[in-house]
Structure 1
Amino acid sequence: MTVAFVLLVLGALAAATAPRLLSRAQWPEREPVLALWVWQCVVAAVLLCCLLAMALAGSAAWAAVRGNVFAFAPSGVVEAYGLSDHGHWAGWLAVLLALGGVWTAAMLTREVRAARTRRRQRRREVFARAPRLPGESVPPGERLVVLEDARSDAWWLSGAAPRLVVTTAALRRLKGRQLDAVLAHEQGHARARHDLLLHCAGALAAAFPQVPVFAAFRDQVHHLVELAADDTASRRFGRLTTALALVELNEERGVFGPSPAPPGAVPGRVHRLLDPAPRLPLGRRVRMTAYALLLPAVPLLIAFGPGLHALT
């Protein structure tokens, strides 16, 4: 059971320290896609620590669980974990961790269902405001819906037939290739499936609001996916065009007022596009990607360590 304790301590340390370290770093603004990868690896490491600790605690508490967990393990491996002397409290620990897993699954299911309901409602509202005329057919590959509205806005309407929804006010304000930049931004969200990442982050934060890593993960994901989509648009249509599109879409909302804006707000995104920091060197990006992959590998090495040692 020492291994289970080590895993829980490791998961707690990662959950407490990773948000502070990542929030103080300057490179995520320069590499939002890499930052999203690091965040996912951190969260995966924390969840793996809990899952593996639950499996070991359950194995210590109940022989039936032990038989399933170690079903294919050679003789001598089970003894290496010292599971037989911790049955009573190990059972409570396993039940507690299992309840946490069930609660997480329930919150994720609720988040997905709520998102589907919102998406269906929004599609109904959009097509009620922009109905097809009798006999009008949808051209193949059409991806733009125009709504009559005095407020500048544009968003991606996901689903079986995805569309970019743009208001008439936005069309009047967007000039040149700015509309193409907005479309590329929204398509960047869709191709990278940022909606799934946002759902998972929101579900974890709602399930465990007191866990720092999950709350920070939710907040950072909302910010980083926008930066990543901005970069997708700027690579195709230029940083100036993308920045002007952001200004035209949001200027009437008062986001460019005299009060200082948070870094993740639209003014910060515009400033980032107009005055970009240099990207990290390729070698450093590769190393950071590999190091991040090691984060979820550490709990696996700790969990399987005694068994591998027993086989040597």
Structure 2
Amino acid sequence: MDRMQLRALAKINLGLDVLRRREDGYHEVRMIMQTVHIFDQLQLEKRREEGIRVRTNLYYLPENENNLVFKAAKLLWEEFGLPGGISIQLKKYIPVAAGMAGGSSDAAAVLFGMNRMYDLGLSMQELMQRGVQIGADVPYCIMRGTALAEGIGEVLSPLPPMPPCTILVAKPGIGVSTRFVFENLKANELEYHPDIDGMLAALKAQNLKELAEHMDQGNVLETVTIPAYPVIQKLKETMLGCGALTALMSGSGPTVFGIFESRQSAKRAYGVLKRGRLAKQIFLTTPYNNRRIKYE
């Protein structure tokens, strides 16, 4: 196999709690992760010339070792002493710097693809163990679906799939630094913690409304990001006003998503957001719940 086409899917956080800041500077988290059908496209191709070449469709993205795609390729390249070179074409559609793990998902796709192309024989678990060296979200992006993430995000437990629904995703025209958010989070002074256990019970019962109820105030990082970027709160209020069961910021933001029972209601909300110009990128999507890994 000399060439492979891949899809790297985005994620949202149905719940995100930070338990404490560890002595090593990392934060211990408890999160419910959910893959959605928004994706980047990657093409991997073997080359005779040695080295890793990355090309993207966005001029401002790095094409060197500062790109997680490059880091993923280099990790396997050096470990297995692979011959020749590899070319990676990356077309970005997942919003950048948006709390949707786009870069981590791209890296996960490269690990998966190179494992297949070069017949490395690594299991999913072995790929996930390597992925955490690139970023805390990479193991989850290899696993996909609905999962509880603990530790720094690398300790993963599969969960029952999210009940069927339509998800409206809106990213305002700003970028948020994950480092800024965590550096300004007062983890030991949080006044509330999301009801992660309630969300887990609702998933087990396959009750969408109950899940949405427990997701209220479900992301502690909003305590930092919303005061710095009030447009996030406006997006949440707009979605709720249009009939969303709940609306929440994903990751460290600034992306906001709303959960709707009906696609028709979500489409109306899409129109309101578009006319109001509160968001630069807007998507209507659904949960990805297939446990089989389908990158192609």
If you compute each CA radius of gyration, which structure gives the higher value, 1 or 2? 1
Query: How would you bin the TM-score normalised by the shorter chain?
Result: under 0.3
Q: Highest relative contact order (Cα 8 Å, sep 6+), 1 or 2?
A: 1
